[in-house]
Amino acid sequence: MPHTGEWKVRLHLFEDDEGTTKARAVLDTGTTVLTGNGVAHCHPADTDVPEIGDELAAGRAMGDLYRQLMRAAERDITGVGAARPRAAAAGWPA
């Protein structure tokens, strides 16, 4: 049975005066909203490059969102009575 959908992700970045960048990734599936968070700190000895802080904080927020999605999928798999998939024989596990 074919299925299509559209999920929306918004990424919010905030930097304070002390070199800390915070990111919030908000996923809206239309029925569920998940929020991932990430933080990056600029070391005092490093050159302040805001784009790097944005990339690190955003990547960490997206990673947090990834972990939440994987947990939700595992709960849903268990909820429909399906066995949890075994580890892949080759390659890196998800």
pLDDT in tens, 34-65: 999 999 998 889 888 889 999 999 999 999 99
User: What tokens were used for 56?
Assistant: 């690190």
Instruction: State the CATH number of the domain containing residue 18.
Output: 3.30.160.240
Q: Is residue 93 part of a domain?
A: no
Q: Is residue 17 part of a domain?
A: yes
Number of domains in the chain: 1
pLDDT in tens, 10-25: 999 999 888 899 999 9
Q: Is residue 32 part of a domain?
A: yes
Note down the domain range covering 49.
Answer: 8-73
Q: Is residue 53 part of a domain?
A: yes
Q: Is residue 87 part of a domain?
A: no
Q: Is residue 18 part of a domain?
A: yes
Does pTM surpass 0.75?
yes
Question: Quick one: three-class SS letters along the chain?
Answer: CCCCCCCEEEEEEEECCCCEEEEEEEEECCCCEEEEEEEEECCCCCCCCHHHHHHHHHHHHHHHHHHHHHHHHHHHHHHCCCCCCCCCCCCCCC
